[in-house]
């Protein structure tokens, strides 16, 4: 494949990934923050997967014995949750499970940076997903993160994502107006989504859970990251096509769009050629 080629991502392939989820629903264990836990659990369910929010010491490691994928979201980081993440990570490593890291707000405080670095040192993550600022902070590049929001300009985010992928061995998803999916050897720009996604608290957490679902059902982590990120963005567009009055009703539409995505993609041929560009 040349540097200017797009990857072979088609509507049929995306439909195949969705069928794989529906045919053998993965159990996704989410150790996530309480602010968005309900949305995360519901979105996992709406992708036809099975959510479980086992995030306490003891229970976390035990639950991972039956999980198909594990999600770590550091939106809140009490010591007990970090301990539970360590336990779940050990079980995941023993069982060769995919583990997704969503390092919420890393770069905004020294504590969050320390926790994220500890997890990176101890855990082999399949996917690391964050906004441009979070990915830059993890990669050791100058970043401006206020609270959990990425601000500032990130003109070299593709190179930054590849650098982080190279140093960690993970697939890196950098979410923004355009999403970047990178490994050590490649970077893809995905064009999908809607501006209203930025008006709802928790959509970043929901993207993390989406990536855990796809990785729990698919053997190819790169394809799972591409398909999951695309499906999430397209659902965001479809939510905007439904009637809504503001962020609250759009949020409901988004959950409905995800729940109806499988049927929609089965009955419509999606042209994804102009949505996926290989940059490297």
Handedness of CA 190, 138, 125, 279 (dihedral sign): positive
Name the binding residues.
53, 129, 175, 202
Q: What are phi and psi of 229, to 5 degrees?
A: -65, -40
226: left (phi over 0), alpha (psi -120 to 50) or beta: alpha
What is the spatial distance between Cα 151 and Cα 145, in angstroms, rounded to a whole number? 6
Residue positions forming the annotated binding site for substrate? 53, 202
Binding-site entries for ATP: 129, 175
Determine what percent of the chain falls in helix, strand and coil, rounding each to the nearest 5. 50, 15, 35
Q: What is the C-alpha separation between 203 and 197, in angstroms, rounded?
A: 6
Separation between Cα atoms, residue 276 and residue 259, nearest integer Å: 24
Strands 149-151 and 144-146: what pairing?
A: antiparallel
The three-class DSSP label of residue 51 is strand
- Cβ neighbors of 252 (< 8 A, separation 6 or more) are 244
Find the length of the chain: 280
Positive or negative, the Cα torsion across 222, 6, 14, 261?
positive
Under 8 Å between Cβ of 40 and 29: no
């Amino acid at each position: 494949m040349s540097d200017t080629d797009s990857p072979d991502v088609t509507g049929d392939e995306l439909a195949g990934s969705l069928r794989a989820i529906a045919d053998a629903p993965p159990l996704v264990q989410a150790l996530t923050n309480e602010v968005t836990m309900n949305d995360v659990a519901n979105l996992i369910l709406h992708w036809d997967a099975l959510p479980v929010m086992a995030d306490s010491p003891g229970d976390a490691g035990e639950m991972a014995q039956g999980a198909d994928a594990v999600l770590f979201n550091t939106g809140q980081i009490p010591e007990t949750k970090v301990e539970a993440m360590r336990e779940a990570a050990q079980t995941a490593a023993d069982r060769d499970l995919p583990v997704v890291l969503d390092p919420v707000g890393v770069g905004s405080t020294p504590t969050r940076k320390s926790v994220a670095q500890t997890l990176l040192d101890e855990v082999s993550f399949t996917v690391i997903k964050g906004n441009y600022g979070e990915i830059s902070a993890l990669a050791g590049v100058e970043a401006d993160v206020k609270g959990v929001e990425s601000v500032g300009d990130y003109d070299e985010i593709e190179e930054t994502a590849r650098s982080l992928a190279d140093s960690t061995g993970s697939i890196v998803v950098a979410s923004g107006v355009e999403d970047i999916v990178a490994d050590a050897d490649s970077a893809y720009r995905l064009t999908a989504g809607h501006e209203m996604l930025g008006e709802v608290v928790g959509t970043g957490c929901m993207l993390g859970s989406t990536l855990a679902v796809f990785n729990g059902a698919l053997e190819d982590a790169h394809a799972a990251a591409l398909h999951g990120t695309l499906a999430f963005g397209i659902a965001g567009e479809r939510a905007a096509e439904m009637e809504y009055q503001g962020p609250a009703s759009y949020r409901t539409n988004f959950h409905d769009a995800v729940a109806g995505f499988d049927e929609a993609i089965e009955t419509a041929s999606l042209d994804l050629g102009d949505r996926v560009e290989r940059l490297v």
